Structures are given as structure tokens and as C-alpha cells.
Amino acid sequence: MAELSEAINLDEIAASLPSRIHEVTARQVAEAPDRIALVENGASWGHRDLGQGVVGALPLGVEGRIRTLDGIPLSKEQVGELHVRGRNVMRGYYLAPELTGKVIDSEGWFNTGNIARFDGDCLYILGRTKEMIGAVSAKVEAVLNSHEDVQSTVIGRGLNGDGELVAFVQPSPGARVKATDLMDSIKPWLTAYIPPPKIVVVDVLPGSLIGKSREHELAACLHRDRDAARHAVKFQRRTQLT
């Protein structure tokens, strides 16, 4: 098998193909429809003639709804995170109930991780949730850092960079900074589907040798605080039972 794979040179094969095949392939790629295709959905759908980002109507038997990142209902005309439900949606990830619980709720709604909106029955996909969060967090960080009296780093509460945004702010020596004033400055840049960031004022931002704040270290601190809070609640429950 190894000798066979070494004998095959895909670049040479592609170069030997007639130019007509390359032309047809390039045209098919350019005309490919925008589709929503996820393994968890078990299917993909879309339409070639509707335009960029336009998926079209959901297939028969598939429901769709729009939510904020923290699950608050939005109208279907608003921009938010797309959830779908139908017989095509998987039951769950194999031997991973916790991971399944993060994407499928008790009513069978699957969070696609796509930012979308509806115009009537027509679905528009605007981008991936993580990409949108990254864009918003970068803008919020830039606005905060435009203040002379602060330095900031904006991260997601989850270690993988998704979820609630948290802005860590380090005031300049002697400066008096109010979180409410900072929040007012970033409100114009927030979106309806991403909850307002939590602003945490710290004495010193952890930094690397090149001066860039350690986002992962800050996220890990939040993660440890959350685990500590859960442990405290469990301990309190045990003491009440005993």
C-alpha cells in the first residue's frame, strides 16, 4: 500500500487533465449554493440561485428559531443564533452526554453555531457564532483601549473562546475608572444576540514577553472561579443534608 501511494503523484495527474475539466470544475465551485451542512443535522440544504448567504426555506419537517447566545428568544426577523429541530437532528454525540447537553436542549432544539435571520420563510446565514464573537470582542477591546486611562483584554468566558464576553481592564496609575462609564462607551458596538460583556477591573493584566495579555490565563482564572463556586454550592448542600 505504501509503495502504491508513493507511486501516485496527484499534482502530475491534475496537470495531465484536459483544460476543459479544470474550467468545468472552477465553474461548479463558483456556482455552488450556500448551504447549511452539519453532521449533526444529517443533511444539508440550500439553493444555487438565491445569492450569497441565502439558504432559502428550511426542508419539510425542520423547524427553526433564533436565540441570543444566552438563550433569550428573538423574533425570526432579528439576527441571532440559529437553532433547528427535526427528525434529521442527531440524538447526541456518542458517549458524550455533557457535550450533547451543550448543543441540544431538553426539547430537541439543536444549536447550529450559526448566526442567522429569517425573511419570511427564507433563511440567511451571516456567519459562524465564534467568528462573530471574535469580531465583537476585538472591537470592544479596541474601543476600551482608546481610553487614555486603561488597558484591556476581552475574552470569552469559556476556555474555547465562546460564550459571555469578559473585559479585563487595567487602569493607569492614579486613574479612577468606573465600569459604568466604560460600558457606556462600548454599548454602540454591541449586538442584540451577544450579551453585554462583564467588566472586571484588575490591578495588573498578566502579560507575555512580547507584552500581549495572556487571554488563556485569564480564561483559566474564570474557569477556576466557576469550579470553586460549584464546589462551594455542593459543600453547602451536603452540610444542609447532614
Shared domain check, 87 and 116: yes
Which CATH number does the domain housing residue 209 bear? 3.30.300.30
Q: What is the pLDDT of residue 1?
A: 42
Instruction: Give the separation between CA 169 and CA 201, rounded to whole angstroms.
Output: 5
34 with 120, same domain: the answer is: yes
Instruction: Quote the pLDDT of residue 241.
Output: 40
Query: 117 with 199, same domain?
Result: no
> What's the domain range around 192?
131-240
59 and 73 in a single domain? The answer is: yes
C-alpha grid cell, residue 116: 442567522
H/E run at residue 85? strand 80-85
Give this prediction's pTM.
Answer: 0.67
One domain, residues 179 and 226: yes
Closest CA to 180 of 169, 191, 172: 169
Amino acid 112: pLDDT: 93
Q: Which of 104, 128, 152 is the last residue of a domain?
A: 128
Residue 240: per-residue pLDDT? 39
Q: Mark whether 148 and 203 lie in a shared domain.
A: yes
Q: Quick check: is 222 in a domain?
A: yes
Contact at 8 Å (CB) between 81 and 162? no
What is residue 191's predicted lDDT score, i.e. its pLDDT?
A: 84
Domain count, the chain: 2
Residue 195 has a pLDDT of: 82
Which H or E run includes 34?
Answer: strand 34-38
Indicate if 99 and 182 belong to the same structural domain.
Answer: no
Alpha helices by DSSP H, listed for the chain, are 2-7, 10-16, 19-30, 97-103, 129-145, 179-186, 215-241
Instruction: Identify the pLDDT of residue 42.
Output: 66
For residue 16, is it within any domain?
no
Task: List, in order, residues 6 or more apart from 6 with CB less than 8 Å away.
Answer: none
Residue 67 belongs to a domain with what CATH number? 2.30.38.10
- The predicted pLDDT at position 27 comes to 58
CA distance 112 to 103: 8
Q: Residue 6: inside a domain, yes or no?
A: no
Co-location of 123 and 159 in the same domain: no
> pLDDT digit of tens for each residue in the chain (242 aa)?
444 444 445 455 556 666 765 565 555 445 544 555 677 776 556 555 555 678 888 888 999 999 998 889 999 999 999 999 998 899 999 899 999 999 999 999 999 999 999 999 999 999 888 888 888 888 899 999 998 888 988 887 543 445 678 888 999 988 888 888 899 989 888 888 888 888 888 888 876 544 455 566 666 666 555 454 343 333 333 333 43
Same domain, 154 and 121: no
Whether residues 40 and 137 fall in one domain: no
pLDDT in the model for residue 20: 60
Last residue of a domain, one of 80, 104, 128: 128
Q: Indicate if 140 and 153 belong to the same structural domain.
A: yes
- Given 96, 128, 160, the domain boundary residue is 128
Same domain for 66 and 151: no
User: What is the model's pLDDT at position 193?
Assistant: 84
- Give the residue carrying C-alpha cell 490565563: 217
Residue 2 belongs to some domain of the structure: no
Q: Rounded distance, CA 56 to CA 125, Å?
A: 10
What local confidence, expressed as pLDDT, does residue 121 receive? Answer: 92
